[in-house]
Amino acid sequence: MKSLYKIIAVVALALVAVNCQEDDSTFGDVVAPTNLTASVDIANDQSGNVTLTPSADNVLTYHIFFEQGIDPVVITSGEQANYRYTQSGVYSQEIVVTAYGKGGVSSSISVVIDLDVRLEIDAAILANLAGNPNEGKRWIWDSTNAGHFGVGDPAETFPNFFSAGAGQLDPCLYDDVLTFSHDGQGNYTFELTTTEATFINWAEVKRFFPDATPVQFADECRFIDDQLDIITDFVVVPDNATGANILTVTNSTMSYWSGATSYEITELTENKLTIRGIQEPFDPPAAPLAWYHTFVPEGGTVPVDCGGSTGDAGSGNNDVLVWADEFEEDGTPCSDNWTFDIGTGDNGWGNGEFQYYTDRPENAEVTNGVLKITAKAESFQGSNYTSARLISFQKFDFTYGRVEARAKLPTGGGTWPAIWLLGSDFETNTWPGCGEIDIMEHVGNQQDIIFSSLHYPGNSGGNAATESINVPGVSDEFHIYAVEWTADEIQFSVDGNVYHTFSNNANLPFESDFFLILNVAMGGNFGGPIDPNFVESSMEIDYIRVYQ
């Protein structure tokens, strides 16, 4: 494995006992610790890690001050305290060990270590994270994209408990700026800039405000700049066991305070930073949690030219391209065009479907010029299948036009991919009153049969206006699925072959704005029985274009 850092440390230890103990160490219920000692071990793997093991009689807790001016590491009898020094240079470092006994009486000693440290972070990691020397790089929350913040079981690799929608959380989180910088000489600086408050996990509030009465699961905005190091150092080193890159910001936090100050970097590019930190809830104590955060460079929350609008006005003949997603930028689908529906909806999205829709890259990502929506057989949030559903609601909607989508479809009994339109007033004009235009539907239990449908009052669900066509190889090859929608007529075609024509009029709901939906469902009223041997399959979309 490639070495991501180099640390040279020459350490000399000198124990200097500072006797704060009274001759009379016991009176009433107040008992001072005695016989306080401490041993310090420096890891021999050149990581810069220090392990301190204290020992004393009549001790309740130890407070280990590894550096002046930062919060102590608090441990109990029999535990060890770990710390990593990341400052480059030759210097002596005093460690103060304070032992507390009954009644708050304490004893202290100090341990002096002489360090000669030279630290180097891998050049590619440093360039992506901190930019050029003496310039710095400012990161902000990727708040325009769903999934920028989440929490899950540490045994999992995704936020299976909660994943935030775009802009869903308190504004006090989103105004933070995280700046990483370096001087090119092995000194690395992290600065956290907040606007009056930090978003704090509810189980961490009492760490800073012992008299507070936080409400369960209600995270709070609180000023804690005076209790953190808002300007400190950082380091990125590989975990000895897993090889994962670990980002540590000394006595600080990556905006949201969960209690973690070290984070696994799960993704780092020039335009994206995703981290995972483990929380040990402070008060009340509880099982550990894994927190996921995604940041983007300030001023670069979406890829350049990500949005679908072409800026051109339609001619009225459905021959001018007004909007398109060509899926050219690898990664998360463009947030200017799409948001994710999450969960199981009402009664399986109204159809008795079995999948849980997520915003994970495992279920929806752009790669090699295509959008892949993947249905998977897996246990997730109480469901046995996962998939994704992308919508352009409140991003792009339109009245009349020609929609073309070039796609290759999934296989497997129970799969139900769809490319369709829904009336934008669905929240107030409930389905089927809002209208639905299904450009393409396919079910794995009827392989190679393509369906198109219109749902409206009096003709919906199993009574929709539906036609079908046999198209061999829909799961082996890309085909162009299209609808031509005017005030008088709606026509559906595959590869230019019209197979379904519907007469439109002002008494139907197809005279107002609709938005796009792309999804792969599993089972349900139309999808039918799911093959018990199904593992996963994807709908791949090369592009989707709208002409007016």
Q: What is the pLDDT of residues 434-487, one digit of tens each?
A: 999 999 999 999 999 999 999 999 999 989 999 999 999 999 999 999 999 999
Instruction: Kindly list the domain boundaries of the chain, sorted by start residue.
Output: 5-120, 122-297, 321-547
> What is the rounded distance in angstroms from the CA atom of residue 300 to the CA atom of residue 303?
7
Per-residue pLDDT band at 13 (split at 50, 70, 90): very low
Per-residue pLDDT band at 360 (split at 50, 70, 90): very high
508 touches 456 (CB < 8 A): yes
Q: Which residue in 198, 156, 155, 152 sits closest to 175, CA to CA?
A: 198
Per-residue pLDDT band at 20 (split at 50, 70, 90): very low
Of 69-73, 92-96, 255-259, the poorest mean pLDDT is in 69-73
Architecture of domain 321-547: Sandwich (2.60)
Compute the half-sphere exposure of residue 326: CA atoms within 13 Å on the CB side of its CA: 8
Token pair recorded at residue 419: 């490319």
Give every CB contact of residue 270 below 8 A, 6+ residues apart in sequence: 127, 128, 297
Q: What is the mean pLDDT of the chain?
A: 89
> What is the rounded distance in angstroms from the CA atom of residue 40 to the CA atom of residue 12?
10
Per-residue pLDDT band at 27 (split at 50, 70, 90): very low
SS3 assignment, position 16: strand
Rounded to the nearest 5 percent, the helix, strand and coil shares of the chain are 5, 50, 45
Q: Where are the beta strands (DSSP E) in 198-261?
A: 198-200, 220-222, 231-238, 245-249
- The answer to whether the bond into 432 is cis (omega within 30° of 0) is yes
Q: Which residue in 91, 86, 93 sits closest to 65, CA to CA?
A: 93
Domains 5-120 and 321-547 agree in fold: no
- The catalytic residue positions are 436, 441
CATH of 122-297, one of 1.20.1270, 2.40.128, 2.30.29, 3.30.450: 2.40.128
Fold of 5-120: Immunoglobulin-like (2.60.40)
Give one DSSP letter per residue of 275-305, joined into a string. EEEEE---SS----EEEEEEEEETT-SS-TT
Q: What is the mean pLDDT of residues 350-363?
A: 93
Output the pLDDT for position 187. 83
Flag whether pLDDT at 46 surpasses 80. Answer: no
Q: DSSP label at 128?
A: H
